[in-house]
Amino acid sequence: MRILVADNDVISRGIMESMLRRIGYDVEVAANGREALDKLLDRNGPRLALLDWMMPELDGPQVCRRIRASGERPYIYVALLTSKDSREDVVEGLDAGADDYLVKPCNAEELKARLRTGVRIVELEDSLVAAREEMRFKATHDALTSLWNRGKIIESLDFALRHVDTMAVLLCDIDHFKDINDMHGHLAGDAVLRELAHRLRSSVRANDLIGRYGGEEFLVVLDGCDSARLPERAERLRNVVSGGSFFTNGGAISFTVSIGAIAVERCASMPAETILQLADAALYQAKREGRNRVAIAGQLV
């Protein structure tokens, strides 16, 4: 693991650097508090730091305070190095945000043991962050397709209606999906859903929205797509996602989709529920007219 040693005394810094390299750390150095702070706030900076208390520009406690106040990086374990050893000094250093406090000159075995504690704290923080992000992902994404789930895509549509002037809302439904499940099995049906999600992702832009609306239905929101461009955009999307078979454990499968679409222009007052109902009605029209086609509801202005 990388560690920063900040000390304006060249000899002390060199001794500490040599000691840390011998016990297996990748060492970076800084000659003053300002340089140390810049290195630690860098996005790819070290996660462990040994800071001398007395340094030019910024002292060790000042560096600690600024690191803790920034909130811009994952947690950084900081130990202060100093010849001060009074209780008041220890309290001051810990109040500044330091995790530990070592009196110079440091004993190599003690330093090694204390840094092991630092590594455990950093690794624990990383695991907690990873667990939190996993929970956040599961709360907003569909487990099968990894697209946004129904709640998140509707929430995103509602937000877009309040902040975007022009968009198109498309409900895409796999044609004869029950027959796919009955003929090839539910695992193959799951594979079809994942393949459709992949084709949809590859067919929309980064600023468009896409989510699994429910079952075999997917919701797509095309940012900036007005009524004039909607027929061409929707037809192109249908062609891409319906085109060609793909292989599963049960053999090659092909599928098509029907799409109900509606253009929304300068209509922030229209609730998402109403727009979805209109798109759903257009989808049923596409189904009635033979499937594998696009039906467009009346323009909302």
How confident is the model over 131-165, as pLDDT tens digits? 998 999 999 999 999 999 999 999 999 999 988 88
Residue pLDDT, tens place only, 257-284: 999 999 998 755 678 999 999 999 999 9
Greater confidence, 73 or 219? Answer: 219
Residue 56, CB half-sphere, CA atoms under 13 Å: how many?
Answer: 6
Residue 216 a catalytic site member: yes
Tell me which of 137, 166, 181 is where a domain ends.
Answer: 137
Residue 167 has pLDDT above 90, yes or no: yes
108 and 231 belong to one structural domain: no
Residue 104 has pLDDT above 90, yes or no: no
Contact in structure between 262 and 205 (CB atoms under 8 Å):
no
Q: Give domain status of residue 110, yes or no.
A: yes
Question: What's the whole-number average pLDDT of the chain?
Answer: 90
Number of structural domains in the chain: 2
pLDDT of residue 106: 80
121 and 225 belong to one structural domain: no
127 and 160 belong to one structural domain: no
8 and 123 belong to one structural domain: yes
Q: How far is 73 from 289, CA to CA, in rounded Å?
A: 56
CA-nearest of 54, 48, 56, 8 to 28 is 48
198 and 131 belong to one structural domain: no
pLDDT of residue 85: 64
pTM score of the predicted model: 0.70
289 and 156 belong to one structural domain: yes
25 and 59 belong to one structural domain: yes
Q: Measure the CA angle with vertex 208, ends 206 and 213; round to 5°.
A: 125
pLDDT of residue 301: 47
216, 217, 235, 265: the catalytic one is 216
Q: Give domain status of residue 47, yes or no.
A: yes
Residue pLDDT, tens place only, 181-200: 988 889 999 999 999 999 99
Q: Give domain status of residue 144, yes or no.
A: no
Owning domain of residue 259: 150-296
